[in-house]
Amino acid sequence: MKQYGLLQYGFLPLGLLALSSSISFSSHAAVVINEIDYDQPGTDTAEFIELYNSGSSSMSLDAFSVELINGTNSLSYRTIDLSGFEISADGYFVMCSDASLVANCDYSFTTSSSWFQNGAPDAIALFESDSMIDSLSYEGSLLLFTEGDAFLPGDNATDITSIGRIIDGLDSNNNALDFQLSCITPGSANIGGMGDCSETGISAVPVPAAAWLFGTGLIGLIGVARRK
């Protein structure tokens, strides 16, 4: 059982310290949660989760699983076991229900629609064995699952918007900085920005990489390194 499974017994505020110490974190994972789409008009039939591998070699996903976390009690309401799958170098892995409704779906793991809760908030966590290697809470903060600052905007229930990492795979472990509302791109490079994601012509305005780097402080770090 994952150490996260301890959450299944619930927790009290005084127990949080002990609980959080039971979950191990890694901040340098090559595979991360890259894009999610949990809301579409009417019944949610085209939900998906996209992972991205920023590594230079393909990786087995045998030890990987995705946990979907219910914001009302911080418990997992669904586990997606990725045993037997692989993600290619600089590649994507997409989970969905009906593969005819989600482009590039690699794993149609359920026949259910509306398997992905709409907030607010809820969360998604990626595990490698017992280690939580990446997590994202959406539409608010959720203890243990929000990295840094909370991502507040909601996937706005059109069929062409999602929540995507601003630059594929780039992870500062701050949800508010790392993600933004995006045009859906399952299995392909994310398109960040709040432009017009009309189905006939996606025209979102990407955030310039320099602006993102400035926001994460990486430019400052680069500057410090160069002055040494």
Question: For binding to Ca ion (CB under 5 A), which residues are involved?
Answer: 35, 37-39, 44, 50, 114, 116, 118, 134, 147, 155, 161, 171, 173, 185, 190
Strand order in the sheet with 131-138: 24-25, 131-138, 122-128, 64-70, 75-81
Q: What value does the CA radius of gyration of the chain take, rounded to a whole number of Å?
A: 17
Q: Which is nearer to Ca ion, 22 or 156 (CB)?
A: 156
Indicate the residue among 10 and 72 with the shorter CB distance to Ca ion.
72
Smallest separation, CB 25 to Ca ion (Å): 9
Contact (Cβ atoms closer than 8 angstroms) between residue 168 and residue 178: no
CB of 173 to Ca ion, least distance (A): 4
Which residue number, 76 or 185, has a Cβ lying nearer to Ca ion?
Answer: 185
Nearer to Ca ion, 111 or 223 (CB): 111
Least distance (Å) between residue 223 CB and Ca ion: 24
CB-nearer residue toward Ca ion: 18 or 209: 209
Which lies closer to Ca ion via its Cβ, residue 61 or residue 115? 115
Question: Considering the complex, what minimum distance in angstroms separates the CB of residue 150 from Ca ion?
Answer: 14
CB of 58 to Ca ion, least distance (A): 18
- Is there a contact between 38 and 118 (Cβ–Cβ < 8 Å)? yes
Chain-centre distance of CA 142, in angstroms?
Answer: 14
Least distance in angstroms from the C-beta of 228 to Ca ion: 27
Cβ atoms of residues 24 and 132 within 8 Å? yes
Cα atoms found within 13 Å of the Cα of residue 170, Cβ hemisphere only: 18
Query: How far apart, in whole angstroms, are the C-alpha atoms of residue 130 and residue 148?
Result: 21
Q: Helices marked H in the chain — which ranges?
A: 16-21, 175-178, 209-216, 218-227
